[in-house]
Amino acid sequence: MRVHQWVKNGLLVVAPVAAGTFFHRQVFVHTLLAIASFSLVASALYLLNDLKDVESDRQHPTKKFRAIAYGDLSPRVAVFAAVVLAGCGFAIPAAIPSPGALYLVLGIYVAETLAYVYFLKSVAIIELALVASGFFLRAYGGAVASHLFVSTWFLVVISFGALFLVVGKRSSELKKVGAGSTRKVLKEYTAEFLDSALTMSATIVVTGYCLWAFDTSHTGLSNKLHHQVPIRLSVVMVVLAMLFIMKSAEAGDGAAPEDLILHNRTVQILVILWGALLAIGIYA
């Protein structure tokens, strides 16, 4: 079920937090329900992915210890668990008033992930977009769960921030294990291409975040209801985090987003400082 990867569903709180409504009782409850829904559905999809990749996982130095590849979990039980998890995940949004938009986002997430798992995992560029889209849909799901209007710059930052993390992970994998790893799509990339893609996505993220942080319209982070100075200072934390992740990817030490959050002390400190500055600006 990869419970440690549920940390990625923390993206669902970004839109409510940025809107200054996260601690409104209704929004808070809707966001928690959306997180629970995405977590269960994601675990169902992880099980299906591991079933599909069981043979290649057995050849991988770390993935061979996954439950299905290692033989601790039978395929039959895994399929049953995936069905139960998906059913529970899709039942949860029913507790939210007018859940149609959230169901649409969740449905797109499932469709894209299944397409990735069964058909497009080895298609260069497309696989990057599909993995990145999973992060975007999580963040957007947090907005639609409470029917929040989000800034265009928010969508830009989330979209290209997700692409940045995915490209960084691929770049690190290529430099660490080479194109001969069990991830076949790495043969389609060169280090130079991934470095260029990483720089491009980082540039767009920083530009988009600056425009969002300095935007004084009602959807901007610097609107008249917020304190502008701490919000604008948060740009520094974003830039430092991007530079640190780029440095790690260049050295072949890049990690999955959930591993960066759970295990990397520098990224943890930068995320905490960024969150504190936003909290002061939006809620203080």
Domain boundary among 121, 146, 171: 146
- With a threshold of 0.85, does the pTM exceed it? yes
179: confidence class by pLDDT, cuts 50, 70, 90: low
Does residue 130 share a domain with residue 188?
no
Task: State which residues form the domain around 52.
Answer: 1-146
pLDDT value of position 33: 97
**Domain match, 165 and 252 both:** yes
Least confident stretch, 39-43, 131-135, 190-194, 223-227: 223-227
Residues 2 and 68 in one domain: yes
Q: Do 53 and 132 belong to one domain?
A: yes
C-alpha 141/C-alpha 134 separation (Å) is 10
Residues 196 and 280 in one domain: yes
Q: Are residues 156 and 32 in the same domain?
A: no
Give just the sign of the alpha carbon dihedral 250, 266, 9, 158: negative
Domain boundary among 83, 113, 146: 146
Say whether both 157 and 139 belong to one domain.
no
Q: Please return the burial class of 242, using the count of CB atoms within 10 Å of its CB with bins 0-12, 13-18 and 19+.
A: buried
Cα–Cα nearest to 80, from 55, 44, 41? 44
Own/partner contacts of 122-128, CB < 8 Å, gap of 24 or more, are: 122/184, 122/185, 122/188, 123/185, 124/185, 124/188, 124/189, 127/185, 128/163, 128/166, 128/167, 128/170, 128/197
Same domain as 184, residue 48: no
Work out the pLDDT band at 27, boundaries 50, 70, 90: very high
Out of 146, 161, 191, pick the residue that ends a domain: 146
Same structural domain, 141 and 155: no
* CATH number of the domain to which 105 belongs: 1.10.357.140
92, pLDDT greater than 90: yes
Instruction: Render pLDDT for 40-82 as a digit per residue (tens, 0 to 9).
Output: 999 999 999 999 989 888 887 788 899 999 999 999 999 999 9
CA dist 213 and 231 (Å) reads: 6
pLDDT in tens, 206-235: 999 999 999 988 878 888 888 899 999 999
* CB contact at 8 A, 52 and 122: no
Do 248 and 280 share a structural domain?
Answer: yes
Query: For residue 181, what pLDDT is reported?
Result: 62
Angle between helix axes 25-52 and 100-115 (nearest 10 degrees) is: 20
Return the CA Rg of the chain: 19
Contact in structure between 208 and 163 (CB atoms under 8 Å):
no
Q: Number of folded domains in the chain?
A: 2
User: What is the rounded distance in angstroms from the CA atom of residue 203 to the CA atom of residue 161?
Assistant: 10
Asked whether residue 29 falls in the same domain as residue 82, the answer is yes
User: What pLDDT sits at residue 255?
Assistant: 60
Same domain, 140 and 195: no
